[in-house]
Structure 1
Amino acid sequence: MSVRMFAQIALSALFAVVSVASAQSPFHIEHRWVVGGEGGWDYIVADSGSHRLYIAHSTKVDVVDTDTGKVVGAVTGLTRCHGVVIPPGSKVGFVTDGGANRVVAFDLASFASVATIPTGTNPDGATYEPTTNTLWAFNGSSKNVTVIDLAKMAPKATITLPGKPEFPQADGKGTVFVNIEDKNSIVRLDAKTLKATATWPLTKCESPSGLAFDVEGERLFSVCDGNRMAVTDARTGKSLASAIVGDGPDAAGYDAKRKLAFSSNGEGTLTVVDAGKLGYPVAQTVKTEKGARTMSYNAVADKIYLVTSKFAAPDPANPKARPAQIPGTFTVLVLGR
């Protein structure tokens, strides 16, 4: 073997080791971007195409440039916003306005409102269904879903649900799934017939909130009270596992390349579950910050975005009361490898 050939083999082996090490390296906090402002928050959406992060923040949607960490604009004029949806290739985004029982469509260039669409009572989570070009707004108080025809910017149907809906997911092939928080279950809906086709109980799961979807493996990941992540077969509704996560989970995510499921937990941790192994063991517990319970995973950048705020010390006279938020401390946490 020539010296040159040996060097090439050694270099290739080194690159392979570096690549594996990089793929398996743990998550950690890379950046803290202070957004500021006051009030609560809900869903976060990382749009890899525009390099933007859309954050439902009280009465507005904060828009952050993920290359610089700077706030580049906001969608204003809302009363209590929850879910944000950015359909692929669209020039318009959508946000559910729970306090006004409507979905607001906004221009992605100017962030100005371009249309308002009526929904049921207190629309919360929402998702885009591509085969029918519809937006699904799930109404927490009226316990139904408003299906919106995006070509007409108008409601197309209202589907009754068996309980209070939480996070939804669409499979991209005409099926929509949603957690039912007060019934500890998942409902499957058909986008073409506009009907619920199944209700599946969730094993060892109380008050399911966040929902992530594994497209290739056809698995659903529901995070629940009691430090649990319920894993469900999206074809049959069969329970596959009940993984352990941190306390106070609210949102979930999935990394299809590495087969990792994520749970963002209000206690101040992010749980990384190895969904490629039997038993769904915890691969990593990342220390974040208290209150960082909502998240979005950007698969292109392999980054996880969470938001939280600083809080005042608990009141000794009322220790069970929620601590007051310190104004101006609302922050994005960026996790990378």
Structure 2
Amino acid sequence: MALDGWHLQDTVKIPGKGSAWDYLALDGTHNHLFIGHRKEGLQVFDLATKTVVKTIAGTESASSNGATLAPEFDLGISNNENGTIIPFKLSTLEAGEPIKLGEELDTSHYDPASKRIVVNMASGADGTDLVVLEAPSLKQVGIIKVPTKKPEHAEADGAGNFYLAARDTEMVYRLDTKSLAVTASWPTPGCGQTNSVALDAANKRLMLGCRGNASTKPSFAVMNVETGAIVFSAEVGGGNDGVAFDAQLKRIFLTNGVNAVMNIFEQKDADHYAQVEALGTQAGVRSLALDPKTKTIYSVTAEGTADYSKKITTSVSPYYANTFFPDTFAVLTYGKK
């Protein structure tokens, strides 16, 4: 099998004070990459001019973790650490008023089938409340209770099913966003700290990025969402926080920030996969956004250090960066040779 030749094509520095970041979202229609840059807000990076053209109003003080997009309604929302969401128009980037949902939240996900948005709130003693909102009104229609304190990435299949990864319980939960119910829960053996997901809806396969634990190495795993069975797994780099699937290329990309590597797999068929290459990236390259039209991958990182006088997320790494230097944040573009 010949080398694909994925590599770093471009690096663009974004001036700033040195904040942490989280999720990325791509709006291909308007050529915008939304960057959840926490204390520096939800930044809008124009992919043509390679500049930040806007910071969504109100998202700096609210500390944005990233955006969720519902293009059919010209709607984006910023998911903020202070427990609010801030809606905005994808066309104009004009922000609406903040909506307070709780004391803290992580991210949200859009289900086009039910026209609903599922919000991962901060966990309680017995699990997490997922707040469900109607789109585009953003009216709350209910809550789905899940028995996990670390709900993570999720994807909808367009047919009423919604698949949520849970890092602490190492499970995948299947949800129905119309009936507001958990309809199945499946363990992920060999996939420690189940974290990131990408869905192959045609083959009914869920790609999982797994951070690993004391007994299991970080891995890429594939689940049959009809049975819940893990049909494939292979080792990847540590610190995964992103996985993307391109059905046309038959490629799966996993970004792993601790070991600074992007693992790339080929899908042979629904149950068989082969590693194509492992591209060296940079420390902190853990989130990604894939443009399915241009076959371009975007990520971000910054120069960081682990300051041991502050809290460190040791579940990821004992030296996981918690402090970032000003004017080192960058958008990285990856593509084929």
Instruction: Tell me which interval the TM-score lies in, with the shorter structure as reference length.
Output: 0.7 to 0.9
Q: CA deviation at 1:170?
A: 1.0
Whole-Å separation in 2 of the counterparts to 1:321 and 1:85? 26
User: In structure 2, what residue type is equivalent to 1:116?
Assistant: P
1:161 to 138, 142, 146: 146
Q: CA deviation at 1:324?
A: 3.5
Q: Which has the higher helix share?
A: 1
User: In structure 2, what residue type is equivalent to 1:89?
Assistant: E
Who is 2:10 aligned against? 31
SS at match of 1:147: strand
4+ aligned runs moved over 6 Å, structure 1: none
**1:64 aligns to 2:45 (yes or no):** yes
Whole-Å separation in 2 of the counterparts to 1:116 and 1:195? 27
**1:270 aligns to 2:258 (yes or no):** no
User: In structure 2, what residue type is equivalent to 1:95?
Assistant: S
Whole-Å separation in 2 of the counterparts to 1:222 and 1:41? 21
User: In structure 2, what residue type is equivalent to 1:271?
Assistant: N
Matches within 5 A, 1:1-337: 25-37=4-16, 38-59=18-39, 60-78=41-59, 79-99=62-82, 101-142=83-124, 143-163=128-148, 164-225=150-211, 226-266=217-257, 267-276=259-268, 279-311=272-304, 320=319, 322=321, 324-337=323-336
Deviates more, 1:82-91 or 1:45-54: 82-91
SS at match of 1:89: helix
Change (3 A) 1:320 1:257: closer
Higher Cα Rg, which structure: 1
> For 1:43-78, what per-residue CA distance to the aligned partner results, in whole angstroms no more than 9, with x for missing partners?
101111111100100131111111221111111423
Whole-Å separation in 2 of the counterparts to 1:82 and 1:172? 25
User: In structure 2, what residue type is equivalent to 1:276?
Assistant: K
Instruction: Give the alignment's TM-score, normalised by structure 2.
Output: 0.86
Deviates more, 1:192-201 or 1:108-117: 108-117
SS at match of 1:138: strand
Whole-Å separation in 2 of the counterparts to 1:313 and 1:120? 30
User: In structure 2, what residue type is equivalent to 1:272?
Assistant: I
Whole-Å separation in 1 of the counterparts to 2:5 and 2:165? 29
Whole-Å separation in 1 of the counterparts to 2:121 and 2:177? 17
Deviates more, 1:267-276 or 1:195-204: 267-276
Change (3 A) 1:138 1:321: closer
SS at match of 2:168: helix
Change (3 A) 1:189 1:156: same
How many residues align? The count is 313
Whole-Å separation in 2 of the counterparts to 1:289 and 1:76? 30
Whole-Å separation in 1 of the counterparts to 2:203 and 2:239? 27
User: In structure 2, what residue type is equivalent to 1:335?
Assistant: Y
Q: CA deviation at 1:194?
A: 1.5
User: In structure 1, what residue type is equivalent to 2:7?
Assistant: H
RMSD, aligned α-carbons: 2.3
Change (3 A) 1:120 1:195: farther
Q: CA deviation at 1:195?
A: 0.7
Paired residues of 1:262 and 1:270 also in contact (CA < 8 A):
yes
User: In structure 1, what residue type is equivalent to 2:244?
Assistant: G
Who is 2:315 aligned against? none
Change (3 A) 1:313 1:126: closer
Change (3 A) 1:235 1:140: farther
SS at match of 2:123: coil
Whole-Å separation in 2 of the counterparts to 1:321 and 1:288? 16
User: In structure 2, what residue type is equivalent to 1:155?
Assistant: Q
